Amino acid sequence: MFKRRLQALGYLEWKKVNINDPQHFRKVVLWLEDQKIRQYDIQDRKDLRNIKSEYWPKAFAKYCKDVQCPVFDNDVDQLEWLIGCAIWLEADNDIKQYSQNIKEMKLKMKQEASVPRLKSKNPLDNLDFENNKFQEGVYCVAKLLRIPRHSNHLVTLKACSKLVQRRFNSECLRNPNSKIVRGKPFPIMNCDPGFQLKKTAVENAAKILALLYIQDIRNLQTKINEVIVRVQNITANPKTDTKLGKVGK
């Protein structure tokens, strides 16, 4: 809970701070005194500098008393108060700059508030697709659907999406047999690809790739035909074709 404030104050090791570690705790207190609070003169900070000393807690208790910290019975709360004190002193030392920043922020917020915004209701917009838990969830769904796991979880997710769209839509659920391919299997290994290779395994792989390519071409042709039909519906509409009638009528 202190990391963001320590980052704002310029503490270089803010990411590594562990308040439960006595050495981390003492280093943060010493840094606050050296860089921000400066309650003591440099020569009077030696007791705080000796962070490995068994007498450091007494030095810290005296320091809290000297800076008039209102908290006495909890080290974490005392540190929180010291960080707040450091922030207040930092702002007070450069009040002109921070006042200007506050004015600019208020003006920016006012301008942003005047611009209408569309709030997305799609829960997917708030997902972190690179999160480890999300990736584990994708692979878990793929396992349930018996889809091979790809090194890129987004590719696996796309495969899951296609399977769900094709096999779990309302029509398929009403009539599952309509989507089940039945009939005699095509003898793909007996087809002639138009070339011959020395190794049988390589030739079989080439046959499979050739058939997959043909399937892709057929799917592309189907989509092209669908586009042509849609364009024809538009051009044959009197509202969009000046030859057939007045536009807009």
Tens of pLDDT, residue by residue over 40-88, are 999 989 999 999 899 999 999 999 999 999 888 888 889 989 998 888 8
Report helix angle 75-93 to 56-66, nearest 10. 50
**Token digits of residue 229:** 């039909």
Residue 194 backbone zone (phi > 0: left; psi -120 to 50: alpha; other: beta): left
The residues, ordered by sequence, that sit 6+ positions from 178 with a Cβ below 8 Å of its Cβ are: 171, 172
* Count of C-beta atoms within a 10 Å radius of residue 28: 21
Question: What's the pLDDT tens digit per position in 106-159?
Answer: 777 777 666 666 666 777 777 888 888 999 999 999 999 999 988 899 999 999
Which residue reads 């690809």 in tokens? Answer: 193
First CA to last CA across the chain, in angstroms? 66
Q: In whole angstroms, what is the distance from residue 33 CA to residue 12 CA?
A: 15
**H helix runs in 11-122, sequence order:** 22-32, 46-49, 56-66, 75-93, 95-114
pLDDT given for residue 160 in this prediction: 93
d(CA 141, CA 144): 5
> Rounded to two decimals, what is the model's pTM?
0.41
CB neighbourhood size of 32 (10 A): 23
Closest C-alpha to 45, from 24, 57, 55, 59: 59
135 vs 242, residue with greater confidence: 135
Radius of gyration over alpha carbons of the chain, in Å?
A: 35
Q: What integer best gives the mean pLDDT of the chain?
A: 82
Please report where in the chains the tokens 């708030």 appear, as a residue.
126
Domain segments of the chain as ranges: 1-114, 132-183, 185-234
